[in-house]
Structure 1
Amino acid sequence: MESIKIEIPSLSENIRIVESFIDNTKEKYQLNDDIYGNIMIAITESVNNAIQHGNKFDKDKNVTLTVHHNEEAVKFTVEDEGIGFDFNNLPDPTAPENIDQPHGRGIFLIKHLCDEVEFKNEGRILELSFYLN
């Protein structure tokens, strides 16, 4: 399985580097537009979460983004240097008391856009898989 990795300091403006990385991935592996759209949203959301919640915008902490590719799937790994979080007890963004909240939909959205989502290392590592067929 081939993999490509980048590391970015935890600054919001570095999302454009992530977008370029995803564009390059689309071209390299000739991903179709449907999967590309899902990847773009899910990965930028994951990296934003890593920058904001994981690394608390600390530019001395990095977010590592890796893509693995084989015939069946493309899998992205997003890793931060934060303290982790309790991914099993997140508030439900569809609950009436949360519907108007400006935040709290990221993980919910990510889970719906990916074919598989796995949390590792106490939530510091997120593995997002997209099936190619």
Structure 2
Amino acid sequence: MKPFKLKIPSITDNLRIVESFIDQARDELSFNDDIYGNIMIAVTESVNNAIIHGNQNNKEKNVHISLSIDDHNIAFVIEDEGSGFDFSDLPDPTAPENIDKPGGRGIFLIRNLADEVHFHEGGNKVEIVFYING
């Protein structure tokens, strides 16, 4: 299997390229349509976070996306060139005191759509895993 890797400048319009990347991977790897929507939302949300929060919309910085697949999992790794963040202390956007706050929903959404989410490298690298075949 050829590696699925993508590098994009930090411009939010490039999310269309990420969507095409996911579509191409689905076509070539034939992963289950049941998780396709979850993958599309979780990965594009993660890339959007990398562009806006990680790389501060600096188009000189890139977001790196890779995909790996085995018999049990599809894993996406999204890495930005920013300084990271403290992923261990994220507020719950569903808590009453946070309901009206505009931020904080992206990672909550990613965690609820994916089977596993792992942050690395001080928060500027995230691995999003989806289980396949059961």
Give the TM-score band, short-chain normalised: over 0.9
Partner of 1:36: 36
1:2 to partner: Cα distance = 5.7
Partner of 1:83: 83
**Aligned alpha-carbon RMSD (Å):** 1.1
Please, what TM-score do these two structures have when normalized by structure 1? Answer: 0.96
Aligned pair 1:57/2:57, yes or no?
Answer: yes
User: 1:71-118 CA distances to partner (integer Å, 9 max, x unpaired)?
Assistant: 111100000000000001111101111112222101111011111110
Between the two proteins, the alignment pairs up a number of residues equal to: 133
Please, what TM-score do these two structures have when normalized by structure 2? Answer: 0.96
1:55 to partner: Cα distance = 0.1
SS at 1:97's partner residue?
A: helix
Please list every run of 5 or more consecutive structure 1 residues that lacks an aligned counterpart in the other structure: none
SS at 2:8's partner residue?
A: strand
* Residues 3 and 69, structure 1, Cα contact 8 Å, conserved in 2: no
Distance change in 2, residues 1:73/1:2 (3 Å): farther
Partner of 2:105: 105
1:3 to partner: Cα distance = 3.0
Please list every run of 5 or more consecutive structure 2 residues that lacks an aligned counterpart in the other structure: none
Give the AA of the match of 1:126: V
Between the aligned residues of both structures, percent identity stands at 59
SS at 1:7's partner residue?
A: strand
Aligned pair 1:96/2:96, yes or no?
Answer: yes
Runs ≥4 residues deviating over 4 A: none
